[in-house]
Amino acid sequence: MDLQLPRGTRDILPEEVSKWHFLENEFKKVCENYQYEEIRTPIFEHTELFERGVGDSTDIVSKEMYTFQDKGGRSLTLRPEGTASVVRAFVEHKLYGEVSQPIKMYYNEPMFRYERPQGGRQRQFTQMGIEALGSDDPSIDVEVISLAMAFFRKIGLTNIKLVINSLGDKESRLKHREALVAHFEPHIDEFCAECQVRLHKNPLRILDCKKDHENPLIKSAPSILDFLNEESIAYFENVKNYLTALEIPFEIDPTMVRGLDYYNHTTFEIMSVEEGFGAKTTLCGGGRYHGLVREFGGPDTPGIGFGIGVERILLALEKADIKIPAKKPLEVYVIAAQPEAELKAVTLVNKLRQNGISAEKDYLKRKLKAQLKDANRKKANYTIILGEEELQTGNYQLKHMESGEQGAVSEQTIIEKLTIAKEEK
């Protein structure tokens, strides 16, 4: 029997969870600033959603999905990414019919891919993402990119670079596809069996084949940017101009294909350029997808979004030696100096907590000295010591731990004082 963590998963222990809270809060704040609202979708969906949405010739769908049959014989899949689910919800709840468009949503949820685990690559990982549906204005492409950049800035990650590309519209992509087939076909025997199937099914996928990536024909393959029609060029130019206007530096990489089939026009990735970060440097990936809403039975609706890998952000913060603010400190530690004071300690801690003041006590019947030590370890701002005299008078010694200042005050005064202190913070 194997009782250990499944490969590629992680526990997030209490000491680490404050980092997650910090990232979640900062992401939420940035999203709300940009007027995105949270959406939550189920962890599993019908398998067909990803086959049709992400594309059955992608590695994600063909090799990496956690697919199972439920007791009713349905094929279900733990979601490998967030976009397909959000678009499904958009169609299912007819959000395209809402007056206020575009619909802008964000999410922060676990995703599942059966990949070979390594640093920054897990089988269960978390994505913070956004999707904006209902606008094909290039200014929203730049809004989406600038939101990601604003988030990175807020959490202090500055050693990053933005890489963009355009996959163009349908017409441009068809022309590029023909050129790719013509380029690879005469030499396809040199490629792996999977690429031989990809040649006619989806030749773009040859460009990100993990086995053949060293083949020089991949480097010399025709570039999508040479096949963009006028409209696609104009769109891409607009995106670049807006990025420049917002002073967001970027590089163009015409070989960036992304691992999902739904993209067209703008695609982008944000990577860490921190030294020694390791192989998995892409922190954020995203782009436009104009066919997905229609594919799922809705009206023609353009969309754009991104996904950020939270575990990778944590690695990047660690590599950059950026310290994340520690958890909320403890306000008061109530010490029962003798067993008779225990009941009072229980009720006082309860009363403080009910007044919104964080309070703690001992639960191991420790002696006075050991309780003081525990209060120090927990970094309590104040301690209250309950001894015989305090029980009789109803006035308690409130001690500020840092300054050592101490005085006898009533229960009511303690609550008032600590409430004011909390509001001032």
Binding site for ligand HAM (CB under 6 A): 81-83, 113, 115, 120-122, 125, 127, 129, 131, 259-260, 282-287, 305-307, 309, 311-312
Spatial separation of the C-alpha atoms in residues 405 and 149, rounded to whole Å? 45
Minimum distance from CB of 196 to ligand HAM (Å)?
25
Place of tokens 């609550």: 415
Minimum distance from CB of 98 to ligand HAM (Å)?
20
Report the residue number, 284 or 317, with the smaller CB distance to ligand HAM.
Answer: 284
Minimum distance from CB of 325 to ligand HAM (Å)?
23
Minimum distance from CB of 82 to ligand HAM (Å)?
5
Minimum distance from CB of 311 to ligand HAM (Å)?
5
What's the first-to-final CA gap in the chain, in angstroms? 51
Contact 272, 160 (CB under 8 A): yes
* Residues 6+ away with beta carbon under 8 Å from 78: 43, 44, 65, 66, 112
Which residue, judged by CB position, is nearest to ligand HAM in the bound state? Answer: 309
Report the residue number, 281 or 381, with the smaller CB distance to ligand HAM.
Answer: 281
Total residue count of the chain as it appears in this document: 425
Minimum distance from CB of 97 to ligand HAM (Å)?
22
Report the residue number, 184 or 306, with the smaller CB distance to ligand HAM.
Answer: 306
Report the residue number, 86 or 372, with the smaller CB distance to ligand HAM.
Answer: 86
Minimum distance from CB of 310 to ligand HAM (Å)?
8
**Helix or strand or coil: residue 235?**
helix
**Bridge partners (DSSP) listed for residue 400:** 382
Amino acid at 185: E
Contact 37, 106 (CB under 8 A): yes
Report the residue number, 298 or 307, with the smaller CB distance to ligand HAM.
Answer: 307
If one counts every other C-beta atom within 10 angstroms of the C-beta of residue 367, the result is 11
Strand duo 103-112 + 37-38: pairing: parallel
Report the residue number, 127 or 166, with the smaller CB distance to ligand HAM.
Answer: 127
Report the residue number, 107 or 242, with the smaller CB distance to ligand HAM.
Answer: 107
Spatial separation of the C-alpha atoms in residues 207 and 34, rounded to whole Å? 35
Contact 140, 243 (CB under 8 A): no
* Residues 6+ away with beta carbon under 8 Å from 216: none
Report the residue number, 203 or 307, with the smaller CB distance to ligand HAM.
Answer: 307
The two tokens of residue 185 are: 């076909």
Minimum distance from CB of 81 to ligand HAM (Å)?
3
If one counts every other C-beta atom within 10 angstroms of the C-beta of residue 217, the result is 15
The two tokens of residue 202 are: 């989806």
